[in-house]
Structure 1
Amino acid sequence: MAGNLDTALIRTFITVAEKASMTAAASTLHLTQGAVSQQVRRLEDVLGASLFERDRRGLRLTGAGERLFGRARQILALNDEIWTEMTGDVQRGQVRLGVPFDLVGKGISPVLKSYNAAFSQVELSLVCAASPDLKAGLAAGDIDVALIEEPVGQGNGECLRIERLVWVGAKGGTARAKRPLPVSMVSQSCAFRPAVFNALESRKVAWRTVFESGNIEATAVTVRTDMAVTVWLAATVPDDLEIMNDDPELPSLPAFAINMYWIPDGAKPAVRALADHLRNHLFGKDGPQP
Structure 2
Amino acid sequence: MERITIQNTRMRRNLDMGLLRTFVAVADHASMTAAGNALHLSQSAVSQQISRLEDLSGALFTRDRRRIRLTATGERLLGKVRRLLVLNDELWSDMTTDAMSGQVRLGAPYDLAGTWLAPILKSYTENYPLVDIMLVCAASPDLLASTLDGTIDVALIEEPLGPSRGECLIVDRLVWVGAKSGSAHLKTPFPVSMVAETCGFRPAVLRALSEHGVAWRTVFESGSIDASTATVRSDLAITALLTSTVPADLEIVPTEAGLPELPPFAINLHMPNGHAPPAATELARHIRESLIRHLPGT
Separation (CA, whole Å) in 2 of partners of 1:72 and 1:114: 23
Are 1:227 and 2:241 counterparts?
no
Q: Which amino acid is 2:23 matched to?
A: V
Aligned twin of 2:100:
91
Aligned to 2:113: 104
Work out the percentage of aligned pairs sharing the same amino acid: 47
1:217 aligned residue (226, 235, 239): 226
In structure 2, the partner of 1:55 is 63
The residue aligned with 1:3 is none
Contact 1:10 1:72 in 2 (8 A): no
Deviation of residue 36 (structure 1)? 7.2
Aligned counterparts of 2:222 and 2:51: Cα–Cα separation in 1: 53
**Equivalent of 1:276, from 275, 285, 293?**
285
TM-score (norm 1): 0.81
Matched residue, 2:200: 191
Corresponding residue for residue 12 of structure 1 = 19
Q: What does residue 276 of structure 2 align with?
A: 267
Rounded Cα–Cα distance in structure 1 between residues aligned with 2:88 and 2:219:
48
Matched, 1:73 2:82: yes
1:229: Cα distance to partner?
0.8
- For each residue in 1:124-162, what CA deviation from the matched residue of structure 2 results, as whole angstroms up to 9, or x when unmatched? 221100011112222332210111111112542222122
Say if 2:172 and 2:243, in contact at 8 Å, map to a contact too: yes
Q: Does 1:206 align with 2:215?
A: yes
For 2:257 and 2:292, the matched residues in 1 are separated by: 30
| Secondary structure of 1:247's aligned partner | helix
In structure 2, the CA distance between the partners of 1:82 and 1:95, relative to structure 1 (3 Å rule), is: same
Mapped to 2, the partners of 1:36 and 1:18 lie a distance apart of 11
Counterpart pick for 1:125 among 134, 148, 151: 134
Counting helix residues as a fraction of each chain, which structure ranks higher?
2
Unmatched runs of 5 consecutive residues or more in structure 1: 1-5, 45-49
Deviations 1:19-41 (A, max 9, x none): 476xx79x79xx99999766666
Query: Who is 2:166 aligned against?
Result: 157
2:176 is the alignment partner of 1:167: yes
**C-alpha distance after superposition, 1:89-135 (max 9, x if no partner):** 75310011100111113332222222223333321221100011112
Q: What is the TM-score of this pair, normalised by structure 2?
A: 0.79
Q: CA separation in 2, counterparts of 1:255 and 1:35?
A: 29
Tell me if structure 2 keeps the 8 A contact 1:163–1:255: yes
CA contact (8 A) 1:90 1:119 kept: no
Q: Which residue of 1 aligns with 2:148?
A: 139
Rate the CA distance shift 1:208–1:40 in 2: closer, same or farther, 3 A: same
Identify unmatched segments of 5+ residues in structure 2. Answer: 1-12
